[in-house]
Amino acid sequence: MKMKKGLLVWMITLTLGATTSAFAASASSFNDVPKDHWSYAALDELAKDGIIEGYADGSFQGNRTMSRYEMATIIAKAMDKSKTGSLGDQALVEKLEKEYGSELEALDKKIDAVNARVDNVKITGFVRTQWDSDKSAGANNNGNKRFYMDLEGQMKVSDQWTAKFQSETNRHYSHNDSTNKTHKGQDDSDTGTFQRIWVDGTIANNWYVNIGRKWSGIGYQNMLQGSETDGVQFWHPISKDLTLSGWYFAPTWDGADYDLYGVNVFGKIAKNLEANVAYGQANKEKWFGDKYAAVDLRTQFTPTVKLTGTYVWTGADKDNTDKAVRLDYKGADMKHVGSFGAYTRYVNYGANGDIGHDDEWGSLPSNMKGWIWGVKYVPWQNVEWETLYSKQKINANSTNDDRKLFRTELDFHF
């Protein structure tokens, strides 16, 4: 029998068990077990030996009559635990199992059905605590100290489609306002809502698509595009190692008044060498960048050293290129406590060098160039600690101001 189930399944199952329509058992399953039935004495003995811990509310209700179904739920919980008990306890549980066999079988079927429904929903995400020291042009820009939660869910619709959502919650550290002398947090009005909802699906043989509002990235460093968009994107493998993708995006940031459409091909092109090549257009004026293209190359020099380079171009008249190089050593594995990784990056973002790159929580603005050095470490399972330092020149095509950013953050993944 399959009685090893999760706590959530048990809670749902036992709750549904209160109604006769909840599972396919005979009406006699809800008849009371007579007060003088040997089952009560058997449960008393198992409770004394610690084999059963009680009824659904955590206590053994031996002072009242129970239905055969209620009796079965207690026996089911005892079946696995009895394997570590005495031979007498094991024999007693086997005797109870035979007595309430039909109820246990019906309960098992109901648990399987509930478990299948629970498996249709998956929740993942992480909680972050982040501290920044951000200084530029002689001023402190420390508005990014915060607690943050990323909550993502997926619900299976069918074998072809999955519905998904993402919710981001920001809670900036309470701070002293120099004018009002009061403590307050600075948070967007939509924080904590389901900001993004979309569906992933298979529309034909090896043709994959997502539709809706989601975070969308293009390339190995998300330099051509890396932000929230409304739209549609498809993927289709064109060989063993290469995949074709196409998209139509409408960025959602305040003031966005353009759409993006384009294609890219990415994958392995040689031993230890991957590439991404993208081209597209935007319904925007030339000064903004009415056309765009990107090339990424990534190679694994050794099992512990990886190099990534990216070049992005737009059709703008000036400041129309992005360039970045990243060197990674090892990498943090959240399943292995003590694992770590280190990286060095050089970036040069033109004022009009891309359509909407990933600014990585304000650490990589447009119109800047500079270096980033960072480390990642796993102090506990499923917890990642990242610390980085960046020395930059911002407003690179005008005032060319200095910026120094120090950031440390702990991510607790679930």
Same domain, 163 and 309: yes
**Nearest of 356, 384, 359 to residue 372 by alpha carbon:** 359
Compute the distance between CA of residue 261 and CA of residue 212 in angstroms, rounded to an integer.
15
Mean pLDDT computed over 243-249: 98
Mean pLDDT computed over 1-14: 49
Same domain, 197 and 273: yes
Lowest mean pLDDT among 9-18, 233-242, 268-277: 9-18
Same domain, 245 and 317: yes
Domain-embedded: residue 2: no
Residue range 367-400, pLDDT digits in tens:
999 999 999 999 999 999 999 999 999 999 999 9
Lowest mean pLDDT among 2-11, 52-61, 169-178: 2-11
User: What is the residue type of 255?
Assistant: G
End residue of a domain, out of 65, 84, 117: 117
Residue range 117-160, pLDDT digits in tens:
788 899 999 999 999 999 997 677 767 899 999 999 999 999 99
Same domain, 142 and 51: no
Same domain, 112 and 135: no
Neighbouring C-alpha atoms within 13 Å toward the C-beta of 232: 6
At 114 the pLDDT is 80
Placement of tokens 């739920």 in the chain: 73
Asked whether 316 and 275 are in contact (CB, 8 A), the reply is no
Which token pair is 286?
């030339």
Residue 140 burial by Cβ neighbours in a 10 Å radius (0-12, 13-18, 19+): exposed
At 124 the pLDDT is 97
Q: What is the dihedral of CA 317, 250, 254, 215, to 10 degrees?
A: -110
CA distances from 241 to 238, 279, 341 (A): 8, 20, 27
Number of domains in the chain: 2
Same domain, 106 and 200: no
Residue range 313-353, pLDDT digits in tens:
999 999 999 999 999 999 999 999 999 999 999 999 999 99
Domain-embedded: residue 1: no
Same domain, 332 and 403: yes
Q: Supply the pTM of this predicted model.
A: 0.75
The per-residue pLDDT of the chain, averaged, comes to 86
DSSP letters, 201-259, are EEEETTEEEEEEEEEEEESSS--SEEEEEEEEEEEEE-SSSEEEEEEEEEE-STT----
Same domain, 274 and 405: yes
In which domain, by residue range, is 106 found? Answer: 7-117
pLDDT band at 4 (very low <50, low <70, confident <90, very high): very low
Same domain, 41 and 83: yes
pLDDT band at 76 (very low <50, low <70, confident <90, very high): confident
Same domain, 302 and 389: yes
